[in-house]
Amino acid sequence: MKQLKYFTASWCGPCRFFKPYIIELIRDGENIEMIDIDANPEQSQKYQIMSVPTLIFEEDGEIFAKRNGAMDPSEIKALLK
């Protein structure tokens, strides 16, 4: 099963801009986990997050794509299909 791990932070301007698109994708049924890097430093270390927003796409627990910065929602949907 494909999943997106969306790493974000409350103080991040681009994250605040992009967050409504992520929420819309979640409402559309996409398998997305939002992870605040300040509240979950262990996850940030595990995935070696150096900047936010960062999107990590996994399939069956294996990373198949990693993107820094915002993405077009249609690209996200395509990667999750």
CATH number of the domain residue 15 falls in? 3.40.30.10
pLDDT in tens, 7-17: 999 999 999 99
Look over the chain and give the mean of its residue pLDDT values, rounded to a whole number: 96
The count of domains in the chain is 1
C-alpha angle 38-40-41 in degrees, rounded to nearest 5: 75
Q: Which of 9, 12, 22, 25 is catalytic?
A: 12
Containing structural domain, residue 25: 2-80
Instruction: State the pLDDT confidence band at 53, using cuts at 50, 70 and 90.
Output: very high
pLDDT at 25: 96
Distance of alpha carbon 49 from alpha carbon 15, whole angstroms: 14
Model-level pTM? 0.93
Catalytic residue among 15, 25, 37, 52: 15
Q: Are the CB atoms for 66 and 57 separated by under 8 Å?
A: yes
